[in-house]
Amino acid sequence: MNRRKFLACSAVAALLPKTAWATPAFRLKAGPVDARILSGGEGLTPMLGFNGSTPGPELRVRQGDRVPVAFENGSGRPSAIHWHGIHLENAMDGVPELTQGAVPPGATFRYAFDAPYAGTYWYHAHHRSWEQVARGLYGPLIVEEPDPPAVDRDIVVVLDDWRLDDAGRLHESFGNRHDFSHAGRMGNVARALFSHDTIRRGDRIRLRLINTATARMFPVRIAGGTGKVVAHDGMPLAEPAPLEDLLLAPAQRTDVILDVAEPVSFGLRTREGLYRLGTLAAGGSNPAPFDTPIRPLPPARTPAPDRNGAVRLTLVMQGGAMGGRHVGSDFWAFNDRSGMPEVPWHRFARGETALITLRNDTAFPHGIHLHGHHFHEVRDDGALGRYRDTTLVDRQASRDIVCVFDNPGKWLLHCHTLGHQASGMKTWVEVA
Ligand SMILES: [Cu+2]
C-alpha cells in the first residue's frame, strides 16, 4: 500500500545500433507519468518520470564499468541529467550552465561515463532542478562492488516528499519566492519508496537510502532489526557504525546493513512525533540467517589528501529570510556573490588539496554539494571524518572539509536545497 514500485532497468542494447555501444546501454526517456503517491482510491498524481515511472528506473552497474545512457527528452521542456556523486568526466556532468547546453524537447543526448567507485548514487534533472526534480525527474544509480557484501536483499529506499493539492495533483507553486527565501519547497506528504518490498524475518538486507527531496531534511528512524551504517554518499566507512537515528540532507545517501527481526519501518522524526514513511512487511522466515558480523564494505581507493600543503579557503553562506542583508535580486549568496560568476570561485591545480571552511551565517541549514568529487568532513578533533559529496552545515555553524581536486574541469558547488541554488547559492570551481 502507498508504495509505487520502480523497476530495475533492463539493458536495451537491442534497441540501438550495435555499433553505437560497446557495452549494454541504458535508455532514459523522460516524459509524463501518473504516479500513485496517495493511497488506493485517491487520485493519481500527474508528474514527470523516466521510462514511465517516477522514481525513474534503477540503473545498476559494476564498479569500473563504462555507463552509456541515451537520454531522450520527452519531458516537453529543456532538460539535462546530472549523475550525482560520480567522479566522471566533466563534459558528462549534466550542468547546462557549465558543462553542456540544455537538451531541447524531443532531442536525445548520449551520456557516457566511467563509474570508478562502488556505492549508492542517483541521477536527476539539473535544469530548473527546483521544479524538474520536484516533478519527478530522478532515479537511483547503483554501482556494485566487484565483490559485494553477502546479503539476502539489496533494497533502494527513496525518501521524498510532495506538495499535493486536495485532488492529489502537484501544487503548481514551483519557484515560490517565499519557499526560496526560507527552507525551500516542503511537501505535505512524505514517503519511503522501496525497490523491493518482500523480506523475511532473519534476512540480512542492505538498505540504500537516498534523499531525493528538493528541500526536506529527513531525520529517519529505522526499526525492526539490528544493523550497522556502512556507507555515506556511496563511500564505505572504515568501520561500520552502530545504527542510530539518521539525518539525510537533500541529495545525501546512507547505506545500512540490517538483520531483520520483524517488519522494517521507516519513520520521520517530527516535533509532533514519528511520521510513518513506509514499512517493509516481513513474510516468512529465513531458514538460514547470517551469523557472521557485519563487515566493512571494501575500501574505495581514493586520493590521499596533502593536508600540510593544502590551500586554505573560506566559503560563507549568506542571505535568506532573517538573513539581515540584501544580495541583489536573489535571496542567497556565497561570499557576497549571488548566482553563477563569470570566473570560478577558485582555480585548483590538478591534484591540489584544499581545506575549505564552510561557514553558515544564515538562519537555515544548507546541504552543500560539490560536483565530480568527494571530500572529507573534518571532525571536531581535527581528524578526517566522513567522506561525502554533500555536507550538511547547520544554521549559524561552520564545517571544515578537505578535498583533493583531482578531476579536471568546471565543477558546480551549490546548496542542494534546490530553491536556494536557484536563488543564488551556487558557484563553481575549475580544476586544470
Ligand atoms: Cu541552502
* DSSP output for 94-120: --TTTTSPPBPTT-EEEEEEE--S-EE
User: For 99-196, where are the alpha helices, taking DSSP H only?
Assistant: 129-132, 177-181
Instruction: Specify whether the CB–CB gap between 222 and 264 falls below 8 A.
Output: yes
18 Cα: distance to centroid of ligand 1 (angstroms): 44
289 Cα: distance to centroid of ligand 1 (angstroms): 43
248 Cα: distance to centroid of ligand 1 (angstroms): 14
350 Cα: distance to centroid of ligand 1 (angstroms): 28
* Sign of torsion over alpha carbons 225, 231, 236, 240: negative
417 Cα: distance to centroid of ligand 1 (angstroms): 5
161 Cα: distance to centroid of ligand 1 (angstroms): 17
Q: How far apart are CA 207 and CA 30, in angstroms?
A: 27
Q: How far apart are CA 256 and CA 222, in angstroms?
A: 10
107 Cα: distance to centroid of ligand 1 (angstroms): 32
Class of domain 153-285: mainly beta
Residue 171's CB is within 10 A of a number of other CB atoms, namely: 14
108 Cα: distance to centroid of ligand 1 (angstroms): 32
419 Cα: distance to centroid of ligand 1 (angstroms): 8
Architecture in CATH for domain 13-144: Sandwich (2.60)
The pLDDT, as a whole number, for residue 323 is: 79
Q: Is residue 241 packed enough to be buried (19+ CB in 10 Å), middle (13-18) or exposed (0-12)? A: middle
Pick the CATH number of 311-431 from 3.30.70.360, 3.40.50.10860, 2.60.40.420, 2.60.40.1080: 2.60.40.420
Q: How far apart are CA 223 and CA 261, in angstroms?
A: 9
Backbone angles phi, psi at 393, to 5 degrees: -115, 115
365 Cα: distance to centroid of ligand 1 (angstroms): 6
All 3 cell numbers of residue 104? 531541447
Instruction: Specify whether the CB–CB gap between 25 and 68 falls below 8 A.
Output: yes
186 Cα: distance to centroid of ligand 1 (angstroms): 13
The pLDDT, as a whole number, for residue 124 is: 98
Q: Residues 56, 414, 141, CA angle at the centre, nearest 5°?
A: 25
Q: How far apart are CA 234 and CA 115, in angstroms?
A: 12
Name residues with Cβ closer than 5 Å to ligand 1, which is an ion: 366, 415, 417, 420
366 Cα: distance to centroid of ligand 1 (angstroms): 4
295 Cα: distance to centroid of ligand 1 (angstroms): 35
> Are 13-144 and 311-431 in the same CATH fold?
yes
Instruction: Specify whether the CB–CB gap between 156 and 7 falls below 8 A.
Output: no
145 Cα: distance to centroid of ligand 1 (angstroms): 32
The pLDDT, as a whole number, for residue 24 is: 60
Least Cα distance to 139 among 5, 280, 281 occurs for: 5
345 Cα: distance to centroid of ligand 1 (angstroms): 18
252 Cα: distance to centroid of ligand 1 (angstroms): 14
15 Cα: distance to centroid of ligand 1 (angstroms): 41
Instruction: Specify whether the CB–CB gap between 358 and 313 falls below 8 A.
Output: no
162 Cα: distance to centroid of ligand 1 (angstroms): 18
110 Cα: distance to centroid of ligand 1 (angstroms): 31
The pLDDT, as a whole number, for residue 17 is: 38
HSE-CB of 232 using CA atoms within 13 angstroms: 24
The pLDDT, as a whole number, for residue 421 is: 97
Q: How far apart are the first and last CA of the chain?
A: 51
368 Cα: distance to centroid of ligand 1 (angstroms): 7
**Global pTM value:** 0.94
pLDDT tens per residue across all 432 residues of the chain = 333 333 333 333 333 333 334 446 899 999 999 998 887 778 899 999 999 999 999 999 999 999 999 999 999 999 999 999 999 999 999 999 899 999 999 999 999 999 999 999 999 999 999 999 999 999 999 999 999 999 999 999 999 999 999 889 999 999 999 999 999 999 999 999 999 989 999 999 999 999 999 999 999 999 999 999 999 999 999 999 999 999 999 999 999 999 999 999 999 999 999 999 999 999 999 999 999 999 999 999 999 999 999 999 999 999 999 876 666 679 999 999 999 999 999 999 999 999 999 999 999 999 999 999 999 999 999 999 999 999 999 999 999 999 999 999 999 999 999 999 999 999 999 999
421 Cα: distance to centroid of ligand 1 (angstroms): 7
Domain chopping of the chain, boundaries: 13-144, 153-285, 311-431
The pLDDT, as a whole number, for residue 4 is: 37
Residues 6+ apart with CB under 8 A from 360: 317, 366, 393, 394, 395, 396, 397, 398
The pLDDT, as a whole number, for residue 324 is: 66
The pLDDT, as a whole number, for residue 41 is: 74
Q: Is residue 18 packed enough to be buried (19+ CB in 10 Å), middle (13-18) or exposed (0-12)? A: exposed
